[in-house]
Amino acid sequence: MVQADVLIVGGGGAGCSAALHLAQRGVRVVLLERGLVGGQATGVNYGGVRQQGRDPAGLPLARKSREIWSRITELTGADVEFDPCGHLKLARSEADEAELLRWNALAEEYGLRPRMIGRNAIRERHPYFSDVVVAGSLMEEDGSANPRLLAPALARAARAAGAEIREHHAVTSLAHDGRQFEVVAKETRFTAPWLLNCAGFWGGEIAARFGEPVPIEKLHPNMLVTEPLPYFLRESLGVVGGDLYLRQIPRGNVIFGGGRGESDAGITRTRPRPDAAFGAMRRAIAVIPRLADAMVIRSWTGTDGELPDHFPVLGPSATTPGLLHAFGFCGEGFQTGPGVGAVLSDLVMDGATDVPLGAFDIGRFTAAQIAV
Amino acid sequence: MKAVVVGAGPAGIRAVEQLVRAGVTPIWIDEAPDGGGRITQRPPAGFSRGASALYGADSGRARRLHATLDALKPRTDWRPDTLVWNIRPEDRVLHTLTNGAAQDEVQYDALILCTGAMDRVLPLPGWTLPGVTSLGGAQVALKSQGVGVGANPVLIGTGPLLWLTALQYAKAGAKPAAVLDTTDLLTKARFGAGMLWNLPTLLRGMGLYAQLKLRGVKLYEDITPLAIEGVNGVTAVHWRDAAWKEHVTPCDAVAMGWGLKPEAQLADLAGVPFDYDGTQQNWVPRKDAAGRSPVAGVYLAGDGAGIGGVDVAELGGARAALALLADAHLPSDMALTHHLDGRLRTERRFRAALEQAFPYPARLAARMDDSTSVCRCEVITAGELRRAAAADAPEMNRAKAFSRVGMGRCQGRLCGTPAAAVLARELQVEVPEVGRLRGQPPVKPVPLQQVD
């Protein structure tokens, strides 16, 4: 039997960050990961470190996480290729442009400084855009990082700070005896007064296990990468409507996505979908015609959880003392992962956090939603 | 029933032959403009070099296969110049790209994958210089273009293809500067006895060796390749002989290859599980002796289903088609089935001996210098891969995630084998324990631009 102060289930960005933040505060923490850390949504996403375009209710969390991204190298002792290259969200119509202006005004209330770039300026700065693009909103402090490196780097740092990171430890049973949690993984019993549910899409099963099911659906973002092209694009791009996101890394490859992949019933295998890929390819060429000549060398997808209102479940359980949920990040959890870990650490150690979590409460779903 | 055969090499030709015989009209897809596969690669139209010059001892086989291919084409839905780049097994759909531009979907009830093989390489300092090709590449240049990779090439590797390529170059008028074989004579002799299972092939191999000697081509056994020298092209090969003496052989090109590996990406995307075959040192898609994969409706034949050589490809192609017919309750030739099963059993014994006689020098790959580029597409050195191992990469896909090995244009088809050897040694485990790179579509690059 292994006794800990805090058990974490799930080694994505949120779980690994929580392990690191708690270990730094001297807590005995054990993280249980079914496969390798960062193997699911955290590891195979687009790599956007983006506040741009988020619902205002999610901005305080994104802000907190962005502060951690500023010191991610010091925090992890590793280069996760974080590059605040700016996120440029494009308008392809007058209505899109109005949407950008609306969001920019909201964001300013949260202390963000998005900058509107009009038709002439965007043409001048980005001559490779087609006439489809009518305007853009630039968040200069947004950017990108390498998704394959984040969770392993956080896990390594957590381990160095004293956390126990157990990979290939699939949880086979979960229980709470009124005082402590008992979790069995790889035939070992782990007990602790705190349990952090950071299990991504599978977090829904854990919540249900403790009597609070949520209407979570699987989400498989469909992504592609081209062969290296001459470097021309510094900013990470998005569009109003969200059906295309695209960035180029300095070595030349263009990474882009849009639409959804798929999986089998048990999610033993996820795969990108050619129809989604073709859609993303068409939209990418419509915005940047020079991409027509490029070759796609690989496509992929991963698994995240999505909730009907597009907010995650983040905060204390309504049924079980000591249980904290942090799952279902709806494809937007890469940026927030480091911040979520800090929030969880605050909740465990201080019983409070400076980030408003109301919108993320697990009790927000109606009985009708849960029944579906 | 919609049957689809992917590949028109020896395995695909013999598979289609049996399907057509049984009254099935398959859709037949091949990447080349005119089919023929690799070992019997067809020259472009209007090419005047004769079959015996192109295929040597295999010219009779090549003529027979090409005649069958041409006779079968009008009796199938023949789709040349077509790449299958993805499979959705749950819907039994193939995604194809024709002439590098036109996308299409192909439905199937049953699918025979005859996707062939490619050379295994050993990264060396200088292996990415212009003028360095694989043995297979050097052969294709000769067969399909009538040009050599050089007038004085050094050929490095091991296996019958090493001798065959050297002889083909000698016959075409080149003067190979040296043939450098990493396997010692003793290993070849020890397993040579096992090759008696296929005496004609064994004799043909010995014949190649004898002809090279007669032509005065310098053959060296048990060598260690050290580096390929050059600036804008190849100028010399540095190597060490069995007595540990170092040599520098001037040359104008290098062709190298250490046996073959299955081109099994489509089987992977179809969901076929893979097993490590320690004899051939390859990951091989699972199938029964008849070529049935564990995925319903998917059959495998030829080198893409595990390296077996051209005889096994022809036998296995026909056998897989007979299995497909039997599974579909269509009339199939029981006598032929029985005959093929017997021949395939004998061939497997021969093949096991051949693979052991000409092993992939995993020890050399594992020890490659830190500065040697292991992944050519992404320019990742062995040192970078080793650093990935140190950063908790217990298997190949994680090593890829950390180091970018196998992430480029070839998707690890070329670097997968040597990279696994490097990683395994670094982790002090056996090669199979580091696993294999998972396949991801597209199997080969596809253009962003869609043409209907």
pLDDT of residue B232: 92
B183: tokens are: 């396997």
Query: Class of the A2-65+147-216+309-371 domain?
Result: alpha beta
Would you write out chain A's pLDDT as a tens digit for each of its 372 residues?
999 999 999 999 999 999 999 999 999 999 999 999 999 999 999 999 999 999 999 999 999 999 999 999 999 999 999 999 999 999 999 999 999 999 999 999 999 999 999 999 999 999 999 999 999 999 999 999 999 999 999 999 999 999 999 999 999 999 999 999 999 999 999 999 999 999 999 999 999 999 999 999 999 999 999 999 999 999 999 999 999 999 999 999 999 999 999 998 888 889 999 999 999 999 999 999 999 999 999 999 999 999 999 999 999 999 999 999 999 999 999 999 999 999 999 999 999 999 999 999 999 998 888 876
Query: For the range B40-49, what are the long-range contacts, defined as Cβ-Cβ under 8 Å and sequence gap of 24 or more?
Result: B40/B9, B40/B10, B40/B65, B40/B66, B40/B310, B41/B139, B41/B140, B41/B143, B41/B144, B42/B66, B42/B144, B43/B143, B43/B144, B43/B146, B44/B144, B44/B145, B47/B144, B47/B146, B49/B146
- List, as one string, the DSSP characters of A334-370: HHHHHHHHHHHHHHHHHS--SS--GGG-GGGS-HHHH
A152, A285, A296 ranked by CB distance to B442: nearest: A296
Within 8 A of B407 by CB-CB distance, chain A residues are: 298
Q: Using beta carbons and an 8 Å cutoff, which residues of A are at the interface with B? A: 36, 43, 148-149, 152, 156, 226-227, 264, 269, 271-272, 274, 278, 281-282, 284-285, 291-300
Q: Indicate the CATH number of A87-140+221-301 among 3.30.1490.20, 2.30.30.100, 3.30.9.10, 3.90.650.10.
A: 3.30.9.10
Strands ordered across the beta sheet of B27-29: B77-79, B27-29, B3-6, B110-113, B298-300
pLDDT of residue B452: 59
Q: Please name the residue of chain A whose CA is at the shortest distance from the CA of residue B392.
A: A152
The pTM assigned to this predicted structure is 0.94
Contact B42, B34 (CB under 8 A): yes
Burial tier of B338 (Cβ tally within 10 Å: 0-12, 13-18, 19+): exposed
Cβ within 8 Å, pair B442-A36: no
B21: tokens are: 């015989």
Query: Class of the B362-434 domain?
Result: mainly alpha
For chain B, give the mean pLDDT. 94
Task: Give the strand pairing for A48-49 and A171-176.
Answer: unpaired
Q: Which residue has the higher pLDDT, B40 or B308?
A: B308
pLDDT in tens, B429-442: 999 999 999 999 99
pLDDT of residue A214: 97
Cβ within 8 Å, pair A294-B447: yes
Within 8 A of A43 by CB-CB distance, chain B residues are: 401
Q: What are phi and psi of A126, to 5 degrees?
A: -130, 70
Helix (H) or strand (E) run with residue B401 in it: helix B396-403
B445 part of contact set with chain A, CB < 8 Å: yes
Task: State ipTM.
Answer: 0.93
Predicted confidence (pLDDT) at residue B395 exceeds the cutoff of 70: yes
How would residue B54 be classed by pLDDT, with cut points 50, 70 and 90?
confident
The neighbour count for residue A127, using CB atoms within 10 Å, is 8
Q: Please name the residue of chain B whose CA is at the shortest distance from the CA of residue A39.
A: B398
Q: Which residues contact B88 (CB under 8 A, 6 or more apart)?
A: A271, A274, B95
Cβ within 8 Å, pair A295-B446: yes
B311: tokens are: 């005889």
Interface test with B, best of A36, A253, A273 (most B CBs within 10 A): A36
Q: What are phi and psi of A279, to 5 degrees?
A: -60, -45
The neighbour count for residue B364, using CB atoms within 10 Å, is 17
Q: Please name the residue of chain A whose CA is at the shortest distance from the CA of residue B395.
A: A36
pLDDT of residue B45: 76
Percent of chain B's residues with pLDDT above 70: 100
Q: Where are the domains of chain A?
A: 2-65+147-216+309-371, 87-140+221-301
Q: What are phi and psi of B264, to 5 degrees?
A: -110, 25
List the beta bridge partners of residue B102: B98, B451
Indicate the residue type of B49. Answer: R
Contact B102, B14 (CB under 8 A): no
Cβ within 8 Å, pair B447-A274: no
Q: Please name the residue of chain B whose CA is at the shortest distance from the CA of residue A277.
A: B448
B263: tokens are: 């081109």
Task: Give the strand pairing for B117-119 and B110-113.
Answer: unpaired
Q: Please name the residue of chain A whose CA is at the shortest distance from the CA of residue B390.
A: A156
A98: tokens are: 């109005």
d(CA B368, CA B364): 6
Cβ within 8 Å, pair A299-B440: yes
DSSP state of B312: H
Predicted confidence (pLDDT) at residue B307 exceeds the cutoff of 80: yes
Predicted confidence (pLDDT) at residue B451 exceeds the cutoff of 80: no
pLDDT in tens, B409-425: 999 999 999 999 999 99
Within 8 A of B442 by CB-CB distance, chain A residues are: 296-299
Within 8 A of B88 by CB-CB distance, chain A residues are: 271, 274
Q: Which residue has the higher pLDDT, B146 or B306?
A: B306
Cα-based angle A103, A104, A105 (whole degrees, multiple of 5): 90
Angstrom CA distances, B77 to A70, B23, B91, B94, B311, stand at: 59, 13, 21, 15, 26
- CA of B444, closest CA in chain A: separation in Å? 7
Within 8 A of B269 by CB-CB distance, chain A residues are: 271
DSSP state of A193: S
The neighbour count for residue B365, using CB atoms within 10 Å, is 26
* The two domains B3-118+261-354 and B121-258 share their CATH topology (first three levels equal): yes
B33 part of contact set with chain A, CB < 8 Å: no
Contact B135, B33 (CB under 8 A): no
DSSP state of B144: I
Cβ within 8 Å, pair B271-A284: no
CATH code of the domain made up of B121-258: 3.50.50.60
Q: What are phi and psi of A106, to 5 degrees?
A: -65, -45
3-state helix, strand, coil split of chain B in percent (to 5) is 40, 20, 40
Q: Outline where DSSP puts E strands in B36-174.
A: 77-79, 82-88, 93-98, 102-107, 110-113, 117-119, 132-134, 153-158
Q: Where are the domains of chain B?
A: 3-118+261-354, 121-258, 362-434
3-state helix, strand, coil split of chain A in percent (to 5) is 35, 25, 40
Length of chain A measured in residues:
372
Within 8 A of B90 by CB-CB distance, chain A residues are: 264
Q: Indicate the CATH number of B3-118+261-354 among 3.40.50.720, 3.40.190.10, 3.40.50.2000, 3.50.50.60.
A: 3.50.50.60
Q: Write out residues 57-116 of B within 8 Å (CB-CB) of A.
A: 86, 88, 90, 95, 103
- CA of B263, closest CA in chain A: separation in Å? 16
Contact B122, B361 (CB under 8 A): yes
Q: Which of A259, A333, A311, A247 is nearest to A43 (CA)?
A: A333
Angstrom CA distances, B138 to B147, B216, B220, stand at: 9, 21, 20
Cβ within 8 Å, pair B409-A271: no
pLDDT of residue B191: 84
pLDDT of residue B49: 75
Predicted confidence (pLDDT) at residue B40 exceeds the cutoff of 90: no
